[in-house]
Amino acid sequence: MGIKKLGESRVEKLTSKIFSGPRMKLWMIRATTSVLLWTCLVQFTALREVWGPRILKGWPSCTSHGSAPAAPARVLPPKRVYLNNGYLMVSCNGGLNQMRAAICDMVAIARYLNVTLIVPELDKTSFWADPSEFQDIFDVDHFITSLRDEIRILKQLPPRLKRRVELGRIHTMPPISWSDISYYHNQILPLIKKYKVVHLNRTDARLANNGQPLEIQKLRCRVNFSALRFTAQIEELGRRVIRLLRKNGPFLVLHLRYEMDMLAFSGCTQGCNSDEVEELTRMRYAYPWWKEKIINSDLKRKDGLCPLTPEETALTLKALDIDRNIQIFIAAGEIYGGERRMASVAAAYPKLVRKERHCWSHQTFGFSRITHLRWQPWTILFPWRVIFFVPTYDGNMAKVVEGHRRYLGFKKTILLDRKLLVDLIDQYNSGSLTWDEFSSAVKEAHSHRLGNPTKRFAIPDRPKEEDYFFANPEECLQPSHIAHDFFVRLVAFSINILQIQLVLNRERERDGFWFLRQQSGRLWWELHSKP
């Protein structure tokens, strides 16, 4: 009893020193609140300086539902003066995002070679046979002027060289895929100096993901995140549709990559009937540049190389506890199989939003004609601006959007583990897993697949298998990463301290010194357990 009384008297003395009256408690609460508010203000100011040109100035609809204030007069960067080694013409191939990444690469290559770049030509021979020109999709004047401190860009060749092109007197070639920048210096630059004009007729994945000079990587980012701005008409269309969606509450963007061209190219036919399998096979053989013809769909699916089907997607979203009442915008083209294949998604999530079914006509938005490439940009604009983006396949759009969302502050992108998912789904469908077991496994597997800061995974000599530069351009994310991480940890620390002070007021008579010691230890662990 004597020891117990002695211990109690020591605790009382310690707690009386720690909690010495209302004045001390009030001072601590005020000080902690001030620290919290000041931290938020300082960090928001710092983040605004880092992200301001990207978000707060360039994307008024991201921060306000109202009209944006008039932008100040734009100051153009000074022109870079350099000895021009010749002219580079490029013809992009693939879909919009594949071409977007290629344009970034070509600008960086042209800058490194000290040549003049001619505004790139967009693909008109692919599956969509879209006739759109560069200026129909992107703000061409902004593209040219915003990069003038790095490279000279012209809308067309000088007259004396245009005649040579018309006569076919230029050197045309496809560069080697995944090449180091030194390849362009050693192989392409001598050709440009010799012929004055070189035409690169394929541009997809022609620059390696890793091992490039830092200035090259940063220029690729600058082109992607700043110079390649969509036309004012397309951006206005995106803003209008976003306003329409927001009127009906929050929404999630689902990139359901289940269009006919994707299935024909990949050979993935899960859930398709025999007629559809035959149709997809005929299409695959009709395109000679699709090299893989004989494909084992089941094996490819089990390896996680197929896009999730609509049925698999519905199960996955439900397993992740996505609210049934949320709007889900389908950022994709026409789903192969139509309503039959979309039935499971519609049953699970009745508030589906699909552009072809929601009266967003040409007349509504002032377009006399909307081509495939003109529809694509605003299906890309949405994923940049929402809280959650869920791609069902890691194609070019998913990768480019993932990287852009990282650049905008590591917005959440649910990166689905398709190989694991199809295995879990098969087990659930066969009765080997209960729903609770299935849902728990899906959530656990994706708890760390949310587009968080991470190193880009590199595999020397196997570039197709490593992480794509534009999906995780970490060389361009470091300032944001530091600011974001520092901001989050400081705010969390300040909030924890404030919570402790408030709880201490209630608990001081009961727990006193031991409660303070426990909470202080917890705070120390939280601050030091992170790198």
Distance CA 240, CA 443 (A): 34
What is the pLDDT, as a whole number, of residue 32?
Answer: 58
| Cα 483–chain centre separation | 19
Please compute the mean of the pLDDT values over residues 260-265 and round it to a whole number: 95
Cβ within 8 Å of residue 146, ≥6 positions away: 77, 226, 227
What is the pLDDT, as a whole number, of residue 524?
Answer: 35
pLDDT band per the 50, 70, 90 thresholds, residue 69: very low
What is the pLDDT, as a whole number, of residue 240?
Answer: 85
Judged against a pLDDT cut of 50, whether residue 483 lies above it is answered with no
Q: Are 48 and 54 in contact (CB under 8 A)?
A: no
**Amino acid occupying residue 248:** N
What is the pLDDT, as a whole number, of residue 486?
Answer: 46
Mean confidence (pLDDT) of the chain:
81
pLDDT tens by residue, 325-374: 999 999 888 999 999 999 999 999 999 998 765 545 454 555 544 555 55
Judged against a pLDDT cut of 80, whether residue 310 lies above it is answered with yes
What is the pLDDT, as a whole number, of residue 354?
Answer: 84
Q: Are 250 and 164 in contact (CB under 8 A)?
A: no
261: its two tokens: 């061209």
38: its two tokens: 């000041």
Q: Count other C-beta atoms under 10 Å from residue 460's C-beta.
A: 8
Judged against a pLDDT cut of 50, whether residue 58 lies above it is answered with no
Q: Are 397 and 250 in contact (CB under 8 A)?
A: no
What is the pLDDT, as a whole number, of residue 518?
Answer: 44
DSSP letter assigned to residue 188: I
pLDDT band per the 50, 70, 90 thresholds, residue 507: very low
* Residue, of 245 and 479, whose pLDDT is higher: 245
pLDDT tens by residue, 416-448: 999 999 999 999 999 999 999 999 999 999 999
Q: Residue 296: helix, strand or coil by DSSP?
A: coil
**Amino acid occupying residue 154:** L
What is the pLDDT, as a whole number, of residue 376?
Answer: 65
Q: What angle do CA 173, 174, 180 make, to 5 degrees?
A: 120
Please compute the mean of the pLDDT values over residues 26-31 and round it to a whole number: 58
What is the pLDDT, as a whole number, of residue 246?
Answer: 87
What is the pLDDT, as a whole number, of residue 167?
Answer: 84
Distance CA 100, CA 223 (A): 9
pLDDT tens by residue, 145-200: 999 999 999 999 999 999 888 888 889 999 999 999 999 999 999 999 999 999 99
Judged against a pLDDT cut of 80, whether residue 67 lies above it is answered with no
Q: Count other C-beta atoms under 10 Å from residue 167's C-beta.
A: 8
Which residue, chain included where needed, has tokens 């996955």?
316
435: its two tokens: 């729903």
Q: What is the pTM of this model?
A: 0.76
**3-class SS letters over 158-187:** CHHHHHHHHCCCCEEECCCCCECHHHHHHH
Please compute the mean of the pLDDT values over residues 70-74 and round it to a whole number: 58
Distance CA 97, CA 236 (A): 20
Q: Residue 436: helix, strand or coil by DSSP?
A: helix
Least confident of 33-42, 262-271, 506-515: 506-515
What is the pLDDT, as a whole number, of residue 480?
Answer: 45
What is the pLDDT, as a whole number, of residue 366?
Answer: 53
Most confident region among 9-13, 94-98, 180-184 by mean pLDDT: 180-184
pLDDT band per the 50, 70, 90 thresholds, residue 452: very high
Distance CA 202, CA 221 (A): 21
